[in-house]
Amino acid sequence: MKKAILAVTVAAAALSAYAGEGPGGDPFRSAESAVPGTRIDELVLAELTARGIEAAQPSTDAVFVRRVYLDVIGTLPRADEVRDFLEDTHPDKRAALIDRLLEREEFADYWSLKWCDVLRVKAEFPINLWPNAVQAYAKWLHDAIRANMPYDEFARALLASSGSNFRVPPVNFYRAMQGRDPSTIAAAAALTFMGVRLDGWPEGRRAELAAFFSRVAYKPTAEWKEEIVLLDPSAMTPLDAVFPDGQPVHIEAGEDPREVFAEWLTAPGNPYFARNIVNRVWAWLMGRGIVHEPDDIRPDNPPVNPALLAYLEEELVRADYDLRQVYRLILNSRTYQQSSIPRSDSAEAETLFGQYPVRQLDAEVLIDALCGLFNSRESYLSMIPEPFTYIPDYQRTILLADGSITSPFLELFGRPSRDTGLASERNLQPTDGQRLHMLNSTHIQKKIEGSWRLRQLVETSKGDTERVARLLYLHILSRYPTAEETAVVKQYFERGDVTRAEAAADLAWALINTKEFLYRH
Amino acid sequence: MTRRAALRRGVFGAAALALLDGKRPVAAAAPADTRAKSVIQIWMWGGPSHLDTFDPKPDAGSDYCGPLGESLATNVDGIQINAALPRLAQQADKYAIIRSMTHGVNAHETASYIVQTGRHPDRLVYPCAGAVVALFKGYDQGYAGIVPPYVVLTEPQGRFSEAGLLGQRYKPFATGGNPSREPFVVEGIVAEGIPDERQLARRDLLHALDSLGRAMPGNEQFARLDACEENAYGLGEARRLFDLNVEGDEMRDRYGRNTFGQSCLMARRLVEAGVPYVTINYKGWDTHKQHFEIMKRKLPELDQGMATLLQDLADRGLLDSTIVWWGGEFGRSPKVEWGAPWNGGRQHYGKCFCSVVAGGGFQGGRVLGASDARGEEVAERPVYPLDLIGTMYELLGIDPDGPLPNPRGLELRVLPEPGDGVPSGGRLSELI
């Protein structure tokens, strides 16, 4: 760690120009795009141009590197990673970085977290998966994402597995919900894999879908909290059912209706399956679904850009349900890489993706970023139900599998309760309590004051305030300061009534409280 | 907003108003002449033994009572409580004991949910009483206190999401810190070690370095964040509110110099300042093992803090408008487990337990319902959590049968209807 910091120190000092900056010292916007236009851009621009909306300018390298780390791996780039990227002169360096990030271990960490939200992974009330099953389920999800399991296979495993909740972890899909009746299961399956809220469907269609889940049985074992999910062995009759698209199907006795449903759902051309997931991925990366909200797909809530949605669906099927390919397409587009600073006053500029939307960091990502910057740790534990769960304090918060294990910080910053699986459970609206906490709590103040890394950075900079500014900007905001910002910092250090260490702590405090830090932008 | 306006609005008020999504639920205002204005909930996290507190069974013998087998006459004829609570015995005219609470659930989380929401688990997660009060007596009705309308001393319960489907806006403000320490460090409000002048200087630094904010002047998200910051900086009054030293040593000693005692004093100060709902999250009652050793330590603390709170509220004329609600998620098994590994422990017991209510329209000096000779079964007048919460809502002017506005726009009622399958013994008309 020490080595890395020193390496950055030297390189930063050697840099004469501020790399990653746009014209006129603009840290956020570039005059020219660093990447070629793609099919996504054509489709987005077609909608924007039709309404006379001008898309935002391209982002600078510095904005891009921070954004893509946060979006793809839920992790702040280290200072040396930022510097390396800014100094890299290859014309395709953005695409290369995207490819590297998609292979990082943290990709699986961060996207497991997102999937655990969708799938309500939680040991306690009201989901009651219990700790052992939570660990098994979360590990299975992590492994599947890490191995890039094709998405159709992933869905089939969750929908059609049978066996023990400890040994066949995907069966926990049928346990992670607030009820075990066919209609509750149908609602969870529809929300997860079709992006549909079943309470909006007419009674008859709801019952048709529930029929596919009418033969799910649960059986306890002699092991504490172990449970087998299986096809109801007492169901000896054939079943006539109707798929959500209106097609009837005859299911023989002994055949598992869940498998029949999963086959229908994941067949190419299914009207719900690919559409739901590409819309979700788009919403995760672009802050807003093409159908918004991303889990409320219905005929009277049409996509704002149908051609774009259709294109992404086709690409997913063409890539044999390789989700990373869809990430790659979106991340490499100019649309994703544009600035968050709008060029149009139109409200549609945001809904039609004419700028990258700013949004608050996820609670888990924020606390990890703070811990990483100031080399501090958070500890999590659960005293009930037994067995006690202790999480080692060096483990990052994005890896916290169990939604029941929490902290006042995570609660305050809008972590979802994982009761429903709705995307809107994650609350990214600022609150007064959050602001109080960031500005004035001992929790945050202690992280800053207790940071050996910050102390070391000040000490090794001797009396060079510019260097302190450059390093703190690089670590915290993933860019170098502008000339004006450097001047402001120098002035603060020269006030005289605070020590250099205090001034550096205040600068760190100020930077983590800027919008630039608190928001993805 | 000017700084002065922010101060007047208090630490939290205005930003909440800025959170308009078009989806903000709006509750009907409570009628002005309701008796209760505030609730202090003493949440006995873990489940306190009913036998060792307000429902003693001295005749059941030591298999049931262990060393706590004595009862004590109170200042109300015919009412006895456990002799371990002598100060509370002198306050019995102020509270009513419900000895027939029941729901039959022995799991912490589910029982906590039932006791605090009046609901049984189904596909939705309903808000607990504190969040419901924050909805009906909070910002939406013009609440302008200097701290949020729902405060928890000192840590959130964390076992279920208090606000349920109402969402973040109705979650409690958890103070953090410890009111029996010096100073009481309320997270975000009382910062240690940064002088005011440096606070102001670094704030200017922050604003000078807010480059992205300046590049996007019209951004709504950022405008909300700025409003939150304005409010957050209205610190002066809130800091004073949380400063227990202004109460003086004598008052602080009366409550007991421990976390619970000082939390009771803090709760009284919050209610005086108009906060409608305060929960004291009193931990440590889940005593499977070493039960009696723990009781020996905790009961005197409970006795002193709660008795002083009742007397102090009454002395200040606040008891008429403040409901004090004491209870946990269940009671504890009446028969003591003397064998290994418990060695004198009590287990979870949801079949029969007790709660205590005082003030805000509840009549003191009464006992409602009864348990059997050993406290194992409800003997008369079962009271379900729904009944207690419904009565509390009525006293607060919240219609238990009225609609529960919610961000998802679902048609819901504040409490379940008779047909919803949640058992009820009827509202506590005997106590009002």
> How many CB atoms are closer than 10 A to CB B19?
18
Residue in chain B closest to A28 (alpha carbons) equals: B212
Kindly determine whether residue B209 and residue A511, on different chains, have CB atoms separated by under 8 Å. Answer: yes
Residues of B in contact with A427 (CB under 8 A): 167-168
Q: State the pLDDT at residue B169.
A: 82
Please tell me the number of Cα atoms within 13 Å of A214 on its side-chain side. 16
Q: Evaluate whether B255 touches B261 at the Cβ level (below 8 Å).
A: yes
**At B103, which amino acid appears?**
H
pLDDT in tens, B161-173: 788 888 878 889 8
**Facing residue for A358 by CB, picked from B108, B121, B221:** B221
Residues of B in contact with A519 (CB under 8 A): 212, 221
Task: Tell whether B228 is within 8 A of chain A (Cβ).
Answer: yes
Residue in chain B closest to A381 (alpha carbons) equals: B158
pLDDT band at residue B7, thresholds of 50, 70 and 90? very low
Kindly determine whether residue B221 and residue A509, on different chains, have CB atoms separated by under 8 Å. Answer: no
Q: Into how many domains does chain B fold? A: 1
Q: Which SS3 state, helix, strand or coil, does residue A247 take? A: coil
Q: State the pLDDT at residue A5.
A: 43
Best probe of the A interface among B228, B237, B242, B330, by most A CBs < 10 A, is B228
Closest CA of chain B from A172, distance in Å: 17
Structure token pair of residue B200: 């102001």
pLDDT band at residue A25, thresholds of 50, 70 and 90? confident
Q: State the pLDDT at residue A256.
A: 96
Residue in chain A closest to B122 (alpha carbons) equals: A178
Q: State the pLDDT at residue B158.
A: 67
Name the packing angle between helices A306-318 and A39-50 (round to 10°).
170
Q: Average the pLDDT over B182-194 and give the result.
A: 78
Kindly determine whether residue A417 and residue B125, on different chains, have CB atoms separated by under 8 Å. Answer: yes
Kindly determine whether residue B185 and residue A419, on different chains, have CB atoms separated by under 8 Å. Answer: no
Backbone angles phi, psi at B295, to 5 degrees: -60, -40
Does pLDDT of A9 surpass 70? no
Residues of B in contact with A488 (CB under 8 A): 205, 208-209
Best probe of the A interface among B122, B168, B186, B348, by most A CBs < 10 A, is B168
> Among A236-245, A425-434, A471-480, B185-194, whose mean pLDDT is lowest?
B185-194
Closest CA of chain A from B16, distance in Å: 7
Q: Which residues pair with B73 in a beta bridge?
A: B80
Task: Tell whether B110 is within 8 A of chain A (Cβ).
Answer: yes
Closest CA of chain B from A279, distance in Å: 21
Does pLDDT of B15 surpass 50? no
Best probe of the A interface among B194, B209, B224, by most A CBs < 10 A, is B209
Closest CA of chain B from A108, distance in Å: 27
pLDDT in tens, B302-312: 999 999 999 99
Closest CA of chain A from B336, distance in Å: 21
Kindly determine whether residue B12 and residue A509, on different chains, have CB atoms separated by under 8 Å. Answer: no
Structure token pair of residue A60: 């600078």
> How many CB atoms are closer than 10 A to CB B421?
9
Kindly determine whether residue B12 and residue A27, on different chains, have CB atoms separated by under 8 Å. Answer: no
Q: Average the pLDDT over A455-468 and give the result.
A: 93
Listed by number, the residues of chain B in 326-355 with a beta carbon closer than 8 Å to a beta carbon of chain A are none
Residues of A in contact with B110 (CB under 8 A): 125-126
Give the gyration radius of chain A's Cα atoms. Answer: 25
* Higher pLDDT pick, A121 / A128: A121
Q: Average the pLDDT over B220-237 and give the result.
A: 82
**Burial (CB count <10 Å: 0-12, 13-18, 19+), residue B116:** buried
Residue with tokens 């809107």: A424
Does pLDDT of A516 surpass 60? yes
Cα–Cα distance between A193 and A170 in angstroms, integer?
Answer: 14
Closest CA of chain A from B147, distance in Å: 10
pLDDT in tens, A265-275: 999 899 999 99
Residue in chain B closest to A492 (alpha carbons) equals: B205
Q: State the pLDDT at residue A8.
A: 45
pLDDT in tens, A357-402: 999 999 999 999 999 999 999 988 876 656 677 888 889 999 999 9
DSSP per-residue codes, B128-139: PHHHHHHHHHSG
Kindly determine whether residue B211 and residue A485, on different chains, have CB atoms separated by under 8 Å. Answer: yes
Does pLDDT of A448 surpass 50? yes
Q: Closest Cα to residue B244, out of B177, B299, B311?
A: B177
Residue A44 sits at the vertex; the CA angle it makes with A40 and A45, to the nearest 5 degrees, is 115
Residue in chain A closest to B206 (alpha carbons) equals: A510
The share of chain B scoring above pLDDT 70, in percent, equals 90
Closest CA of chain B from A179, distance in Å: 7
pLDDT band at residue A422, thresholds of 50, 70 and 90? very high
Kindly determine whether residue A408 and residue B19, on different chains, have CB atoms separated by under 8 Å. Answer: no
Closest CA of chain B from A147, distance in Å: 33
Residues of A in contact with B198 (CB under 8 A): 497-498, 502, 506
Task: Tell whether B29 is within 8 A of chain A (Cβ).
Answer: no
Q: State the pLDDT at residue B20.
A: 33
pLDDT band at residue B385, thresholds of 50, 70 and 90? very high
Q: Closest Cα to residue B398, out of B142, B140, B136?
A: B136
> How many CB atoms are closer than 10 A to CB B120?
19
Kindly determine whether residue A514 and residue B11, on different chains, have CB atoms separated by under 8 Å. Answer: no
Q: State the pLDDT at residue A266.
A: 97
Q: State the pLDDT at residue B234.
A: 66
Domain coverage including residue B171: 3-431
Kindly determine whether residue A507 and residue B205, on different chains, have CB atoms separated by under 8 Å. Answer: yes
Kindly determine whether residue B218 and residue A187, on different chains, have CB atoms separated by under 8 Å. Answer: no
> Among A90-104, A473-487, B11-25, B69-83, whose mean pLDDT is lowest?
B11-25
Kindly determine whether residue B16 and residue A432, on different chains, have CB atoms separated by under 8 Å. Answer: yes
* Higher pLDDT pick, A142 / A24: A142
Q: Average the pLDDT over B44-61 and give the result.
A: 97
Task: Tell whether B206 is within 8 A of chain A (Cβ).
Answer: yes
pLDDT band at residue A21, thresholds of 50, 70 and 90? low
Closest CA of chain B from A189, distance in Å: 14
Q: Which residues pair with B278 in a beta bridge?
A: B40, B151
Q: State the pLDDT at residue A23.
A: 58
Cα–Cα distance between A166 and A227 in angstroms, integer?
Answer: 8
Closest CA of chain B from A250, distance in Å: 30
Kindly determine whether residue A406 and residue B211, on different chains, have CB atoms separated by under 8 Å. Answer: no
Structure token pair of residue B141: 């009705």
Q: How many helices and strands (H and E) does chain B possess?
A: 14, 14
Residues of A in contact with B330 (CB under 8 A): none
**At B160, which amino acid appears?**
F
Q: State the pLDDT at residue A224.
A: 84
The share of chain A scoring above pLDDT 70, in percent, equals 94
Q: State the pLDDT at residue A389.
A: 77
**At A320, which amino acid appears?**
D
> Domain with B152 in it: what CATH number?
3.40.720
Q: Closest Cα to residue A283, out of A297, A295, A294?
A: A294
Task: Tell whether B20 is within 8 A of chain A (Cβ).
Answer: no
Arithmetic mean of pLDDT over chain A: 92
CB pairs under 8 A between A and B: 183
Q: State the pLDDT at residue B321.
A: 97
Q: Average the pLDDT over B249-278 and give the result.
A: 97
Kindly determine whether residue B228 and residue A434, on different chains, have CB atoms separated by under 8 Å. Answer: yes
pLDDT in tens, A347-363: 899 999 999 999 999 99
**At B352, which amino acid appears?**
C
Kindly determine whether residue B12 and residue A432, on different chains, have CB atoms separated by under 8 Å. Answer: yes
**Facing residue for B191 by CB, picked from A125, A440, A497:** A440
* Higher pLDDT pick, B185 / B220: B220
Q: Which residues pair with B280 in a beta bridge?
A: B42, B153
Cα–Cα distance between A495 and B200 in angstroms, integer?
Answer: 13
Listed by number, the residues of chain B in 267-286 with a beta carbon closer than 8 Å to a beta carbon of chain A are 286
pLDDT in tens, A161-182: 999 999 999 999 999 998 899 9
Does pLDDT of A65 surpass 90? yes
Closest CA of chain B from A354, distance in Å: 14
Q: State the pLDDT at residue A125.
A: 84
Q: Which SS3 state, helix, strand or coil, does residue A222 take? A: coil
Closest CA of chain B from A331, distance in Å: 22
Kindly determine whether residue B187 and residue A498, on different chains, have CB atoms separated by under 8 Å. Answer: no
Kindly determine whether residue B225 and residue A518, on different chains, have CB atoms separated by under 8 Å. Answer: yes
Cα–Cα distance between B432 and B387 in angstroms, integer?
Answer: 13
**Facing residue for B202 by CB, picked from A126, A419, A506:** A506
